[in-house]
Amino acid sequence: MRKLVLVILIVLFSAIYYFSNVGNSNAVKNSVSSFSELIKKSTTTQPVTGSAPEKPAETLPVKENEQGLGALAPEALKKWLNAESVWLNSTRNNTDEQQIRFRAQAQTLVLVQLQVLRDFTLDSTRPINGRILSAYMITLNTSPDSKEILFEVAKSDLPDHGPILPHSEAELKHTQELAIRYMEIDELFERAKTD
């Protein structure tokens, strides 16, 4: 705990020094207030070892009761996916609340954003957490456009990661690719029961 406070203070003083040399006094005030808030949180809560830090509010590009993800441009949506996917493995997540929030936000997505999610999901150069979240957001959207996007992801070709040997990286990546497509196929199957 003391080491954390010491590191925070060092970063705080480094930021103050940097911004004072740049001449931006507003940035110094913002840094001081955000680090002060972080120090208060770290001294009032007990740290959980091995978990991600609590999610800062500034990673959310939209507030909960505003227009949702439907108001985001394609690049902002990609940034949102990257930011959200970082916190998926955190032990501090309330998965029930997060799922409710994701469902509500997915309903605001329009065709252009669903296409961005499709491209993000199929981009094998991106981290797998973001791709899975992107595929999941497509499954949560109930608009007629999402059915076509689900179908496009499900029928897409698997990228070649080399020979699939047992316990190799290629085998892991191949399994991840299959899991993404199975998620979309499962949603199509569930919709076929009612539609």
d(CA 63, CA 108): 13
20, two tokens: 């004072």
Q: What is the pLDDT of residues 92-127, one digit of tens each?
A: 778 888 889 999 999 999 999 999 999 999 999 999
Residue 180: CB atoms within 10 Å: 23
Do the beta carbons of residue 158 and residue 178 sit within 8 Å?
yes
d(CA 39, CA 47): 12
- Lookup result for tokens 């608009």: 143
User: pLDDT truncated to tens, each residue of the chain (195 aa)?
Assistant: 566 655 565 655 555 555 555 444 444 344 444 444 544 444 444 444 444 444 443 444 444 434 678 788 999 999 999 989 887 777 777 888 888 999 999 999 999 999 999 999 999 999 999 999 999 999 999 999 999 999 999 999 999 988 988 989 999 999 999 999 999 999 999 999 886
Which whole-number Å values give the CA distances from 112 to 58, 77, 90, 100, 119, in the listed order?
Answer: 25, 11, 30, 23, 11
Helix axes 74-86, 128-140, angle to 10 degrees: 110
Residue type for 48, please?
A: V
